Chains A and B, each alone.
Chain A
């Protein structure tokens, strides 16, 4: 009987798709693996749900969604289901990105025939992306498992404390930065750059216990070092939020999106379909009724804050109109304020004060920075508008914060001034010179909400400053449920804890 001959016949390759082992033998494949990491943005967790956690949950936003779960979880700090899709999609997608980066890191160095320069860049890009995803995890979940190799179902890593997770972020970014290019050609703009890595590294040091010196050292490359001529603020503030001026001079790192008009699903994996999504879905979720679902909207106090100071020319701060859609986005009022091609008045919003669920009122304020009302009279489910994750203005303000933190308050003024000047405001060094370290930080807090509201940084700012507490309830009633020592972090999805006995739930959960 033929035994040995037939045993070989039992190895049958899958003719429908290659395996990991097959593809990573090929030099040409490395680029495809790298592309896969950058596709992760288009997934629900990163292009939509993260903004519920960093905008809606913070004091600048809230929810009047018809879906009560969104209100409870993302405005009221009432959390019951630790597996809740809208929350863990963000967590899951970070790990999807990490898994893709790990595949690149595990395989690219071993590809025979791939030149060293490419290897070095691809590895650096993968470390940057892994650092980015762990940055989110460290910031929002804190104590998470570190998965640093291509996943196997048998992987049962323990919980790593938040500091260790940040340390991993800092390690990856520190290694990535020097190996990454300063810029790319026109066909590759949007990939990870040295500046992006240093900027994110600076952010990480700040979030990781306000390590001002280290943060300053990292950010210095962009502000005073070799990168200082690479970036400059756009003359027009609004250019940072509209689709026609993506990847501009102020852009340090953007999540690249494009619209596929025939896309038919919500993430970036759907075997066999040619109707792939490569855009972001946040616009319809934040757009005003009846254009969008309006699952998240803005608190009016931010406008009041921004209106405290006029421009040198006596005008309203131009950032108000770029940041919010409300009855006076046009300073002349609702008859002139355009909402997707119609005036606010003609939309016929009710005069009911407050924000009753399901009703748009004259009082309602919508976040505008992600919307496409500049170009379109409506929103489709996906949008091609890039998310400006790190703008140079943000870097300047962070650098000022770091300098102030190490006692170089006077040096810090110039960076704040650059941001204020672009908005048409008087220099801070003129308006409020010689602030002490503490007052300068208070001023920075004001500068940051004015410059960065509705961009996904507010939660991290409040967290870094230690301002997350029930005291915020005066601005945002949801914070009355905030428990210090617990709500700074989100609960680890129960599914992971059920799967892996080595994992611990976050404190208080």
Chain B
């Protein structure tokens, strides 16, 4: 972007230096005089606007006008550089000419882009594996708590699901989920393996590559199977110092609230509900029935207009001898739900220095994140819509001096409802967290020969996490016991060291080109924790003391090492090309991991890939297709993070449990007993992934269209699951499920990915459009020996990973409409004549008795849908016209089902909770409805209508969303002159502006609680709608 800008104006100091320099030049080389040069720049016979024309080795530059004409002053012996986005840059020697006309060739610029693929960079055109290069111009336009959130919809094969809480990390899956435990990719930031969570400032990021197949990722061996995200941060560029500044401010709101009843409607509906069940109205309802004294929409009380603020300032520059970048940033997100906020400050210093054959550099970021949220485990997204409108948030009349001194509103004896008052939670239970973090690496690069260089890389990631929770006195729910006040402090220290030695080589002889890397990598990771807490805070004269030492109860503490392991690997990759037509890549890694036992401590991971550039064959003649390359790869990768999550760092060691107690003696004194409680499985190892990929890359129509397509089939083997073990082994893990971790399951993901990009830079209006689409088909192949006749793993009552079906799929009772008459109920019998739903009344839900045993129970559940989308896609449109530019991003996710648990609560008619405004309950005169009759759950028929395991609560969650629209305006030159800015752009953008969906919940982009509940909307914090504006400037 910056290169397009005219640079006519110099600062005074620079001008004077230049004048001095030119004066010297004038006298020494008098024969080459300054002269004015004019000319025209065109491509394909049409004039090119906005081409930068620069005198090589100087800062003199101009741009072509609408007709493609330019005028510049230069020496007769100088060289002019013509550059424009989408065209090959051309150097033209002046040779004392005064008129120079130039034709530029259009190129797809990313074809010759350099791509970081792990320990090595290659030209994008030479890639043999499936690697997505993210256009950071798109990702940087989205406001996200983490970089992952910004990637949604930008590239095929990468699924991102967002949670909206300040500081929350989004869920990312690359080519589907192939583990029951961990789907997170490996992140590599500037060559350092480190987590790219919300503590990392995404404004620092220069490029993102996602390695999706075995060929691309094999160099990361035992940790690569979930894909690798390679992040490169910004570096200083050759040239004088540039100060970059940006500021962005956005307001954010919950995109949608539940449309629930107001007090008058609520009271009448409750009246009907109780009347239908012949129950007496609670006194508090009866009293307000005809004259509601309170009409409270709880959602208005707990949602607010939040905001995001994002400020960055940095200085960067460089020369032949090195470069530097120093940048500071501040990000703040005030949540759209009260009492939730997150802020982060960070400082980045990236430098590099060169001397002869030696290059030394470092990349480092320091960041400090702070956040607040209420504790108590209360989810506001449930409580707000469910709370009855006839109770106020807070009122003097609610005060109970002991249990409710602040008078928070919740259920009463007269209105016995059990919703929680989230504002009371926010006031009474505070969690504050602080994450201080450093991520950095330093390297030495020594050129041993023209074709061979050695690199030493050492990195550290360290974080210091602190969470403090304070519980003040008071309750937030009807009939709650008053808990003790308390204070707790939890601290965690995480360190991760990396040391690597690599040799890179690159040699070309005749038609053969060979390059690659070999190396050794050593890593240590350690996480320790300390926790302490104490009950009974001391309050004196209205002041509450909130340190552990000041509290009065018995202190309790804990601590330990939650992770500690080392890993070393021997890695290598070789790329061979013949005549730029035949490309072959072989890569592999031997990893050794301290967490595995002697049997499986060492693992080999490898891949092989080939590609064929057909377009370079003599027989290939096409005016349409400029470049066509076919790719194929196969490899075996591993993932070890699942084992850490399930079994810790010592999963194969049986440890001694010291919690047994024998009783001896006349005094019956307990004495400690110890024994090994678990039966260890010495054969635990990484989960393995076998990946096959076939793809093509093509450029068409003078490189204006680029196409990348991939088809893949990945099968994970040895997926970790808990399998039942025999009771006779005497394994004693305390919860009476004799199970043992085993590498026993298998999952397959197959899919097709397509990206098509069209660019049109021929006219003053530059625009490009890119669309991508992904299909992923997920299937459980095996779940290990779970017992006879059991070919599934069950999470909850209705989520099952069953062989032959997708993971975590919906296994539920099927509903079959509503019973309209008593006859229908009486005639709903099985073969033996047994009434299947004897408790039902007209207006109740009919369930299908799948096994025909005459009752509706868990055995009647069946596969009713998948939480995984059949198709997901994205569209990005960028256009620039003169000073204006537009960015538009769409995201679409189709063909999946989400379980709407908030609607289930609203529609269950329990405990005096509020109702959807648009419910249309069945009555004998209102039969054309899908909502069953109103009544109380004490009625067994109503209770049956609420069965959580029924497909009543599943909804089609397909959606199409305008993810982001941004309009930017480059401030005119006149402004630059006055302000001293080199260039400045202002912009306004709208994020998540509009969503087309049938989903009835707050938002269909549900992150879900982990892999095994991916489709469960249990109060997911919906991604906010954000309107933001900002400025970005260089000076």
Contact = CB atoms under 8 A, between A and B. Distances in A.
Contacts of A272: 558
B727 A495 contact: yes
A35 B671 contact: yes
Contacts of A494: 787-788
Interface stretch (A15-23, A426-434, A441-449): A15-23
B501 interface: yes
Contacts of A10: 566, 568, 592-594, 601
A85 B566 CA distance: 41
A9 B736 CA distance: 36
Interface string B836-864: 00000000000000000000000000000
Given A17-B656, A100-B675, A494-B787, A153 B730 contact: no
B31 interface: no
B650 interface: yes
Given A103-B676, A495-B726, A498-B724, A15 B662 contact: no
Contact of B568 (A6, A19, A187, A273): A6
B656 A39 contact: no
Nearest to A43: B732
A173 interface: no
Given A89-B736, A147-B730, A278-B661, A6 B673 contact: no
A405 interface: no
B672 A256 contact: no
A271 B736 contact: no
B656 A269 contact: no
Contacts of B226: none
Contacts of B657: 17, 269, 271
B660 A39 contact: yes
B871 interface: no
Contacts of A268: 659-661, 673
A147 B679 CA distance: 13
Interface residues of A, number: 84
A321 to B, nearest CB: 26
A32 B726 contact: no
Interface string A93-126: 0011111101100000000000000000000000
Given A153-B679, A186-B666, A498 B788 contact: yes
A91 interface: yes
Nearest to B670: A278
Interface in B558-601: 558, 560-561, 564-566, 568, 592-594, 601
Interface in A5-36: 6-7, 9-12, 14-20, 22-23, 29, 32-36
A187 to B, nearest CB: 4
B399 interface: no
Interface stretch (A71-79, A188-196, A461-469, A477-485): A188-196
Scoring B601, B657, B670, B675 by chain A CB atoms within 10 A of each residue's CB, the highest score goes to: B675
B43 interface: no
A158 to B, nearest CB: 11
B1011 interface: no
Given A36-B673, A95-B727, A145-B728, A278 B564 contact: no
Interface string B712-755: 00000000000011111111111010101000000000000000
B526 to A, nearest CB: 10
Interface in A244-291: 246-247, 256-258, 260, 265, 267-274, 276, 278
Contacts of A40: 660
Given A14-B649, A268-B660, A35 B673 contact: yes
Contacts of B93: none
A10 B725 CA distance: 29
Contacts of B413: none
B656 A12 contact: no
Scoring B673, B674, B728 by chain A CB atoms within 10 A of each residue's CB, the highest score goes to: B728
B663 A12 contact: no
A257 B724 contact: no
Contacts of B560: 15-16
Contacts of B566: 9-10, 12
A6 B500 CA distance: 13
Contact of A256 (B664, B727, B738, B788): B664
A257 B662 CA distance: 8
Interface string A183-223: 00011111100000000000000000000000000000000
A330 interface: no
A260 B855 CA distance: 44
Contact of B654 (A19, A85, A95, A271): A19
Contact of B679 (A15, A152, A187, A496): A152
Interface in B638-674: 649-650, 653-674
A256 B663 contact: yes
A147 B662 contact: no
Contacts of B594: 9-12
Nearest to B592: A10
A412 interface: no
Contacts of A144: 728
A502 to B, nearest CB: 11
A222 to B, nearest CB: 22
A274 B593 CA distance: 34
B730 A269 contact: no
Contacts of A498: 724, 785, 787-788
A258 B675 contact: no
B981 interface: no
Contact of B662 (A39, A92, A273): A39
Contacts of B785: 498-499
Contacts of B501: 1
Contacts of A37: 662, 673, 675
Nearest to B724: A495
Contact of A270 (B592, B659, B671, B725): B659
A32 B656 CA distance: 11
B724 A32 contact: no
B656 A95 contact: no
B787 A1 contact: no
A7 B592 contact: yes
B874 to A, nearest CB: 43
B734 A267 contact: yes
Nearest to B739: A495
B681 interface: yes
B947 to A, nearest CB: 20
A220 to B, nearest CB: 29
Contacts of A36: 660, 662, 673-675
A384 interface: yes
B561 to A, nearest CB: 5
A375 to B, nearest CB: 14
Contacts of A29: 674
Nearest to B661: A278
A88 interface: yes
B1017 to A, nearest CB: 32
A269 B728 contact: no
A83 B725 CA distance: 12
B971 interface: no
Contacts of B724: 495, 498-499
A376 interface: no
Contacts of B94: none
Given A19-B653, A103-B676, A499-B724, A35 B659 contact: no
Contacts of A151: 679, 728-731
Interface in B472-527: 501, 520, 522
A44 interface: yes
B787 A188 contact: no
A384 B661 CA distance: 13
Given A16-B560, A39-B673, 8 more contacts: A14-B653, A18-B656, A35-B671, A38-B673, A89-B736, A150-B676, A260-B670, A268-B659
6 contacts: A39-B661, A44-B736, A190-B664, A257-B663, A267-B736, A499-B725
Interface of B: 501, 520, 522, 556, 558, 560-561, 564-566, 568, 592-594, 601, 649-650, 653-677, 679-681, 724-734, 736, 738, 740, 785, 787-788
